[in-house]
Amino acid sequence: SYVVTQPPSVSVAPGKTASIPCVGDNIEFYRVHWYQQRPGQAPVLVISFGYDRPPGIPARISGSKSANTATLTISRVEAGDEADYYCQVWDPTSDQWVFGGGTKVTVL
Amino acid sequence: VRLVESGGGLVKPGGSLRLSCAASGFTYNYYTMNWVRQAPGKGLQWLSSITGNSNYIYYADSVKGRISISRDNAEKSLHLQMDGLGAGDTAVYYCTRSLLGTTEAAFDIWGQGAMVTVSS
């Protein structure tokens, strides 16, 4: 089945930009969604279909895709952005959802 | 818009459990619903999805044969029956809604989660 890979952790200074990659074969052709999960809370959708922000999600959070990498970008990072971030892909070949292993973003 | 899970708790190895999710605040039968779990300190794992009319049901290969998803649109409820539970099933189980009601849409609403602990 399809596999997507995320780095376990990313560290970023306040005010800087964090980029979280989600790597998968030809991921540019897949539906990719992103979730933020703060400690002790349920995940929250932050990007759907690779680029779309749900209502209430700040414009500082954006998504993009290239051939084999989908990327979640958080600009002007704040302390409140410290959380785990997961990418999610629907694999139409196996009719299954796949989550990346998650990336812990630490604000220095 | 709200999802509330129930039915979690302590289960002995080899036992069974039925989780439920009560939905409110939206036209329930329009939406595909899903179950996702998260073991302590681990990442998210999708388990199963069911379309609005129950015509299409999907299961993760890792749990296929041990779980069964169902829904009652009149009651606005979602259920997950789990059998043959083992320590690896210890997790928080989330009920989620698919945005737009299509299978490949993102999970835009999540419940607070129900903890299931499998232990003797």
The pLDDT tens digits of the residues spanning A18-54 come to 999 999 999 999 999 999 999 999 999 999 998 999 9
Residue carrying the six token digits 């349920």: A42
pLDDT for B103: 78
Mean pLDDT over residues A58-63, rounded?
97
**Which of B44, B45, B108 lies nearest to residue A45, judging by beta carbons?**
B108
pLDDT for A50: 87
The answer to whether the Cβ–Cβ distance between A102 and B43 falls below 8 Å is yes
Mean pLDDT over residues A70-97, rounded?
97
Beta carbons within 10 angstroms of residue B26's beta carbon:
14
Beta carbons within 10 angstroms of residue A30's beta carbon:
21
The pLDDT tens digits of the residues spanning B50-79 come to 999 999 999 999 999 999 999 999 999 999
Nearest CA in chain B to A51: B106
Q: How far is CA B35 from the centre of its chain?
A: 3
Say how far apart CA A81 and CA A58 lie, in whole Å.
Answer: 11
